[in-house]
A and B are shown apart, each in its own frame.
Chain A
Amino acid sequence: MAAALSSVLSARGVGKRFPGVVALSEVDFELAPGEVHALVGENGAGKSTLIKVLTGVYSPDGGDLTYQGEPVSFGTPMEAQQSGIATVYQEVNLVPLQSVASNLFLGREPRNSFGLVDFRAMRDQARDLLTSYGVEVDVTRPLRTLGMGVQQMVAVARAAATSARVVILDEPTSSLEPREVDTLFGIVERLKADGVAVLYVSHRLDELYRICDRVTVLRDGRVVHSGPMADLPRLRLVALMLGRDLEEVRREGATKFDGERTAADTGPVLAATGLTSKHRLDGVDVTVRPGEIVGLGGLLGAGRSETAMAIAGALPLDSGTVVVAGKRLRTGSVAAAMRAGVVMLPEDRKADGILPDLSVRENIVLAALPRLSAAGVVSRKRQDAIVDTFMKRLRIKASSPDQRVGDLSGGNQQKVLLARLLCTRPLVLLLDEPTRGIDVGAKAEVQGLVDELAAEGLGVVLISSEFDEVIEGSDSIVVLREGRVVTELHGADVNENTLLSALAEEPADDH
């Protein structure tokens, strides 16, 4: 029984591999009753995989799970839940059309002596439960009519109310207001006092230091650190997450960016000011001059992709202006942004960009079709000319323009996408993770291309979770945290140490 007291849920040497990827490798992890345990790591570090292994969504390839002193292997999420492991997922997983009360009690509704659901009892219990957590809401309303914050609280309350021994909160605050965060932390404190173990996943460093007792840092599927939260300085935590040793000598030339560029001393080609979108962006400013590469720095969830999407018109804004080459854009319209010369290379090439079953030619000319067609008829000759130009210029390796794009390598797919954007003759190129998932050689080529394009006078906004890429590629870096600009780095300040400290810095004013 002593073992059960020291840890309620533990993993020993757990591994999980997917085709081509090792998602978890020899992971040891312990969760003690009455502690709030932070699980941190960047994109692809293996956090979600670990959670899914712990909750029965995936079964591990190797290693052992121990729950309350007994070895376990959960076959389904239902089994894990029934034995007392409750999870609140990042995307609220409730039923939007059902009432708040139903959502709280689905599957365990109070019943009267006839075995029928007792609505009055359900409503009363739901109201009491939420009130005890400081949430005042009409529990008969359909969930979807409520704000995301309240929905999240309902999800947490549901998890907490199932007499769980372990509650896993995956980015619970990403859509909450500061006031709601306080309420949530109240719930977490209560769970902790009741001896429940809380696994807390978040990228907001302030929150981690505020609420968590211990921390486990994952990187590339391995545990790189585990220990008391308070003993780990912020800077060190960020360095661990990003896989940087502060003492490590910086490897010059890790990327193909040469960094020797002089941006034209003209006015900016892109000036975005005060970009604000509730819960996502709060007054972000980005300025890019022709020939300049501006990096967006920040940890996962800091608002980098959102900033790029806002500029490209793909994210509706509450306020803010985007000015391209002196002309103000209608925000929230991709078509308007494209007409003005702003194009974006999306983060997820497969989902948002490439049409794998179409040919290289078709994929390239897609965006330029309106320009290439006269009265709705597309000139094949002009298509061929453009496709030929870009295939040569971007060194796209395909057997012919008619080859299926799905059969090309990742790097060449990315180049096809770049070609598609370039043939609209853009002024500003927004690149979200342009080298993710492509091999080393192709990476260098894409990096070189981006450099060339900037040298030709394009304004480039670069997002990359690879540290070297941002630092060596960018002329200046706008550092974001929680949707706000923390600082801007220029010239000689664009280096690893300044960026790391900017990321780890505590907020100047406590709000």
Chain B
Amino acid sequence: MTATERPTEEHAADSVAANRTTRRERFASQVQRRGSIVVLALVVVIASFSFDSFATVGNAQNIAIQSSFLAIVALGMTFVIISGGIDLSVGSVYALGGVLAAYGIQWGSLVGLLLPLVVCGAIGLLNGWLVAYGRLAPFIVTLATLLGARGLLLAITDEGSTTRLMPRDDWLTKLGQGTFLGLGIPVWITVVLFAIGMVVLQRTRFGHATFAIGGSREAATLMGLPVARNTMLLYLGSGLCAGLAGALAAAYSASGVTIVGEGLELDAIAAVVIGGTLLTGGAGTVAGTLAGVLLLRVIQNVINQIGTLSSHYQSVVSGAFLAVVVAVQAYLSRASR
């Protein structure tokens, strides 16, 4: 009797211990959630002391506006990656959005804004439909639309030879170039979108379902969550974000340039992952993504400040950073098992 009882008590003790959060686990989860913000703060402090020209209002404004376009793209990407997917088409869609804005503005500012949103939204919807209902791999689907959107872009610009300009005094152009309280309007738009994104992700059923789908698609289905509809909306959102970012970037430079956005999808993915979102889905934060974007842009800025280094070193540093983040993530997820 006693012999059979002992192991039971041991197991019981085990499971009680297992039900308490350990300090180590809390630390791991904090690093996961806020690591990028801490690193960003460190880099900013070090750069401020090292370069006189870094901690200036002008430079801050510069970094903010440069970050805003990538940040909007990365916001949509964050949702998609948390759901366990990927959207490679955003770079092409971003460029297409810019060209469509410059193209549509000839029929009025509103058309200039809506045309990119409608077309890019449709591309996102197509991605989402193929992934959600066609059960195709997101990697392949969005690779196909990456190529397709780039092709469409070249077709409407005579193979990139035509660069359409946007009138300086149009309100759509001012949306890109104007400032409010010292910061560019795209920066404010980014801030508003991130605030909305944060609420949607953390505080709505849609957001919770997104985490669940990324955590286990099968479980989410068996729990009766609207997996397919939710997935489709995520890609729609990503397409809309990329299109809007492209339109704003075009307005900022007052022209629809065809060669922008190449490799932007990879920057966006890097920013999302550096921000602590698991590339395998199921965990991540919008704030982390913002920190990830800023970190990429600050590193770029610092390398420009150094001056003697070729700007290509920016990619080397960003790449190294990404590798470190992924290694730390893998370590943490093993540690918290």
Contact = CB atoms under 8 A, between A and B. Distances in A.
Interface of A: 77-78, 81-82, 87, 89, 93-98, 102, 106-107, 109, 111, 115-117, 119, 136-138, 141-142, 144-147, 149-150, 158, 177-180, 278, 282, 509, 511
A106 B209 contact: yes
Contact of B220 (A95, A109, A137, A177): A95
10 contacts: A81-B224, A107-B224, A109-B208, A117-B207, A119-B203, A138-B19, A144-B337, A177-B8, A509-B1, A511-B5
B216 A93 contact: yes
B4 A509 contact: yes
A93 B222 contact: yes
B21 interface: yes
Nearest to B7: A282
Interface stretch (B9-17, B235-243, B317-325): B9-17
Given A116-B199, A509-B1, A94 B19 contact: no
Nearest to B213: A95
Contacts of B5: 511
B119 interface: no
A77 B224 contact: yes
Interface string B180-220: 00000000000000000001001111011101101110111
Chain B contact residues: helix, strand, loop or mixed:
helix
Given A82-B224, A106-B212, A107-B205, 8 more contacts: A78-B224, A95-B220, A96-B216, A98-B211, A102-B211, A106-B225, A119-B203, A145-B336
B138 interface: no
Nearest to A136: B19
A511 B208 contact: no
Interface string B303-335: 000000000000000000000000000000000
A78 B219 CA distance: 12
A278 B12 CA distance: 12
Contact of B212 (A98, A136, A278): A98
Interface of B: 1, 4-5, 7-8, 11-12, 14-15, 18-21, 25, 199, 202-205, 207-209, 211-212, 214-216, 218-226, 278, 282-283, 336-337
A106 B204 contact: no
A95 B221 CA distance: 11
Contact of A95 (B207, B224, B282, B336): B282
A282 B3 CA distance: 12
Contacts of A95: 211-212, 215-216, 219-220, 282
B18 A115 contact: no
B14 to A, nearest CB: 7
B173 to A, nearest CB: 36
A47 B319 CA distance: 52
B281 to A, nearest CB: 9
A94 B216 contact: yes
B82 to A, nearest CB: 10
A149 B21 contact: no
Contact of A150 (B11, B19, B224): B19
Going nearest first, the 3 A-B pairs with the smallest beta carbon separation are: A95-B215, A116-B203, A97-B282
A93 B14 CA distance: 23
Given A77-B222, A141-B21, A117 B8 contact: no
Contacts of A149: 15
Contact of B15 (A142, A177, A511): A177
A145 B207 CA distance: 22
* Max count, chain B CB within 10 A of own CB: residue among A82, A95, A145, A150: A95
A272 B223 CA distance: 43
B8 A93 contact: no
A474 to B, nearest CB: 29
B11 to A, nearest CB: 5
B215 A98 contact: yes
A88 to B, nearest CB: 10
A107 B209 contact: yes
Contacts of B4: 509, 511
Nearest to B206: A117
Contacts of B226: 78
A24 to B, nearest CB: 21
A309 to B, nearest CB: 21
B19 A137 contact: yes
A106 B223 contact: yes
A138 B221 contact: no
Contact of A117 (B18, B204, B216, B282): B204
B208 A93 contact: no
Contacts of A77: 221-222, 224
Contact of A178 (B8, B220, B221, B223): B8
Contact of A147 (B15, B223, B278): B15
* Max count, chain A CB within 10 A of own CB: residue among B203, B211, B337: B203
Nearest to B29: A142
A151 to B, nearest CB: 11
A141 B29 CA distance: 11
